[in-house]
Structure 1
Amino acid sequence: MKTKLKIAVLVDVSRAYDRDILLGATNFNKLHNKFLFFFYSPKYLGKENQEMLVERIKAWNPDGILTREIEGVQSLLCLNIPLIIFPHTKLYRDHINVWGDNKEIGEMAARHFVAKGYKNFAFLGFKDFQWSLERQAGYTDVVTEVGGNVNTFNYDHSQLLWEHLSARLKKWLETLVKPCAIFTATDELNIHLLEAAKELGAKIPDDFSILGVDNDLMICEMTSPTLSSIDQNAQNAGFLAAESLCKWIESGERPSGDIIFTNGTIITRNSTNALAIDDDQVRIALHYIANAAPSEDISVEDVVKATTVSRRILEKRFQQVIKSSILEEIKKVRIERIKFLLEHSDLSVQQVAYELDFRNFENITRYFKQFTGLTPLEYRNKCKLT
């Protein structure tokens, strides 16, 4: 039997991002059966002594390491073996980092809110974490482009205890002009944000529309209201890291640079299901699109009929209010639904076409490729590989 590569995987499985990294790495191993893993021992066996853990890893003599920014990581970075790091705070110079396209994530959040007609924007993040600051920058850039401003609260964990954050956020929320679109750097902050909003007597999403990052189901699905979030595809990151580490060990070919992963998806739930649009006809049209387009092959004329104005007037108002056309909004909703079904169901492309009321396989293939550059099958295969 061929000797397997010994890989130490040091991630915090209490977090959705880390669990997805682990899933991605194990998915790679399911395909190639290359690795023998070293994991943290279960918490019920006692808290890991970090210094002792590092020594145990060294004694295990791994061929490679996939690690978060754990205590004692500098000692691991000094080992003369392939190592890929998933940082918490900042990029590690002269090492291979796995890093999300955080600026794009922020831009995605801003575009989502702008399309819903918001004029007031806020950002909740961390003071000292580079990934949070990059998400803030992307969000702010897009908001600035449309003539808006972002009211920012950056949590300084060195000055304020985690359990005291809700009280501070309540004071911050009191300063925001409603309705306000709030983008938070990670779902975990939304636990405190929701508590602060409830203490204030604010309505979610009518007063504050909230969108986080990581799509942590333990947070997003169990809160009231449920929380919308950006799934940044960390499983892809784990898969790519494992693939790169394997190649590095076997061929001695170090990755040429950091592993940057993209293709985030907004998972919408109740915390963002409001529209901050004063124009009632545009609001009616967007509600019609959101409800009908995922399952019906609606036309621009169908949308116009749902309102009391002419097509010319409605098109003009769409451009004025959300900087988009009626047809573009229909396409956005339908493409997102197709992506969701390709990623999260076992439906064939023909069945997906049926679900969205396309007449045939060729129509949905042409439609999808025009928007994404990939056929539905190519997109699904890409998702499976990652």
Structure 2
Amino acid sequence: MIRVLVLTDFSSGYGRNLLRGIVRYSQQVGGWTFYRMPLSYRMLHGDKGVVEWAKKWGADAIVAQLGDVDIKLLRDLKIPIIVQNYQDRISGVCNLTGDYIGTGRIAADFFLRKGYYNFAYYGITDTVWARERGEGFRLELEQRGYRAYQFLESSPMREAWNYDLESLGQWLLSLPKPVGLFACDDQFALQVSETCQIFSIRVPEEVSILGVDNDELLCNIASPQLSSIMLDVENGGYMAGHTLHQLIRKRIEAPYNISVGALQVVERQSTQKYVIEDPYILQTVAYIEQNYATRLSVNDLLERIPLSRRILEKRFKQNTGLTLYQFIQRYRIDHFARQLISTRRAVKDIAFSCGFDDCKNLSRVFCKFKQMTPSAYRRKYGVHRRGDTTQF
């Protein structure tokens, strides 16, 4: 029997998905048992309390969200430890970390594709994931000729998170509108949403909000519902379980980092707005979104817009940065990818429902956007990936 002590934030979607991935691995190999320790236990009893409990329970390994940690004290246990990053990455142990800068870049690209030219970031300074998400957001915008306004909180632990409502509200009021606002996670995105309600700031008309983690509870209790970047957390938990097993069996000796990647933006009402001043292009985009699943062609669009093909193509690219064909393909691929990893539907059925009638061409287009085939993408990221043998 392998005993694993798990010390994380079980109130968050991230923490629950992480544990789900670890448990999935344990069920495949069998013979594991878990003890869930809330973060408040360490806050009350410190590292010594965690070590004493791990010894008492006879833990074989620890997965823990730790900030300022006495690694020497934990090493005295002489058992494998995987640290879920909080304040910073910690040397000498396996870190469960992420491509935080890449996540920030995805957020910037998302708002740029919607035509925004005003941007803002809301986060905290005390955690590596928030710092680097903000940094990635800033870097991508600067490389594209833009800047982002920032409002940064400072707080030691998630349980103690609070925010200055008045200051946040005044900052939101001061931002040029419309603005694309990226929050370091869904908790912070929800705080922005609630503050906008109190200060009568319209979402998404004035402030478009994007969070991270795709915590469905937090995203859906917001009004309007929050868009968020989905992370591959469950697969990260699965890899953490596999790594622990290898360490326990002494198949590997040196610690290494496990990185959780970003999958895609799950769009809800809080970002359903394009900042396009040209009324014909805005009308074209709206029509594409409503009819992407049909056999949509440029000729269909020309029948509804009083512009020549050359003028429509030129003005469309000026406003969106993409050709009409590229925009339609990207929109279809985004919807296709989302269903691919969240449902058990056959790949061909999903393809047809997203407007693709040539499966061979779809595989080529999908590889261009995602750098892998649809079947490989589903195997790697799909929530229902077990037992999927669909080939493409």
In the TM superposition, what are the counterparts of 1:112-261 in structure 2 within 5 Å? 112-157=110-155, 162-254=161-253, 257-261=256-260
The alpha carbon displacement at 1:140 in A equals 1.0
Q: Residues 1-386 of structure 1 correspond to what in structure 2 (within 5 A)?
A: 4-40=1-37, 49=45, 51-69=48-66, 74=71, 75-157=73-155, 162-254=161-253, 257-293=256-292, 295-359=293-357, 361-384=359-382
For 2:231 and 2:39, the matched residues in 1 are separated by 27
Provide the alpha-carbon RMSD of the alignment: 2.5
Whether the 8 Å CA contact 1:63–1:81 is kept in 2: the answer is: yes
Distance 1:154 1:62, change over 3 A: same
Where 1:169 maps in the other structure, the secondary structure is helix
Please state whether the residue corresponding to 2:367 is helix, strand or coil: helix
TM-score by length of structure 1 reads: 0.90
Partner of 2:390: none
Gaps of 5+ in 2: 387-392
Which has the higher mean CA deviation after the structures are superposed, 162-171 or 129-138? 162-171
Aligned residue identity for 1:318: F
* Secondary structure of residue in 2 paired with 1:39: strand
- Inter-CA distance 378–291: structure 2 relative to 1 (3 Å threshold): same
Give the whole-Å Cα distance in 1 for the aligned partners of 2:150 and 2:140. 15
Distance 2:106 2:38 in 1: 38
Shift of 1:162: 4.5
**Alpha-carbon distance between aligned partners in 2 of 1:133 and 1:151, rounded to the nearest angstrom:** 14
Matched position secondary structure for 2:345: coil
Q: For structure 1, which segment, 132-141 or 362-371, has the greater mean C-alpha deviation from structure 2 after superposition?
A: 362-371
Residue by residue over 1:296-334, the C-alpha shift from the partner in whole angstroms, topping out at 9 and shown as x without a partner, is 232233334342222222222233222222112111111
- Structure 1 residues 208 and 279, CA, compared in 2 at 3 Å: closer, same or farther? same
Give the distance between the partners of 2:51 and 2:303, measured in 1 at CA.
Answer: 66
Which whole-Å CA distance do the structure 1 matches of 2:162 and 2:2 have between them?
Answer: 42
| Maintained 8 Å contact 1:106/1:139 | yes
In 2, the alpha carbon distance for the partners of 1:85 and 1:54 equals 14
* Amino-acid identity (%): 29
- Number of residue equivalences: 378
Structure 2: how far apart are the matches of 1:286 and 1:30? Answer: 46
Question: Is the partner of 1:277 in helix, strand or coil?
Answer: coil
In 2 relative to 1, CA 73–229 (structure 1 residues): closer, same or farther, beyond 3 Å? Answer: farther
Residue aligned with 2:221, SS: coil
1:8–1:242: structure 2 CA closer, same or farther, 3 Å change rule?
same
Which SS does the other structure have where 1:89 is aligned?
A: coil
Structure 1 residues 277 and 353: alpha-carbon distance in aligned structure 2, compared to 1, 3 A threshold = same
C-alpha distance in 1, partners of 2:137/2:163? 26
The range that moved more, 126-135 or 191-200, is 191-200
Aligned partners of 2:114 and 2:275 also within 8 Å: yes
Distance in 1, matches of 2:325 and 2:236, equals 34
**TM-score normalised according to structure 2 size:** 0.89
Give 3-state SS (helix, strand or coil) of 2:34's partner.
Answer: strand
Q: d(CA) in 2 for partners of 1:188 and 1:220?
A: 9
**Gaps in structure 1 of 5+ consecutive residues:** none
Partner amino acid for 1:267?
Answer: V
Stretch moving more, 270-279 or 323-332? 323-332
Q: Per the alignment, do residues 83 and 26 of structure 1 end up closer, same or farther by CA in structure 2, a change over 3 Å counting?
A: same
| 3-state SS in 1 of match to 2:265 | strand
1:301/1:140 CA distance change after superposition, 3 Å: farther
Residue range with higher mean Cα deviation, 85-94 or 31-40: 31-40
Do the aligned residues in 2 keep the contact of 1:169 with 1:192 (CA within 8 Å)? Answer: no
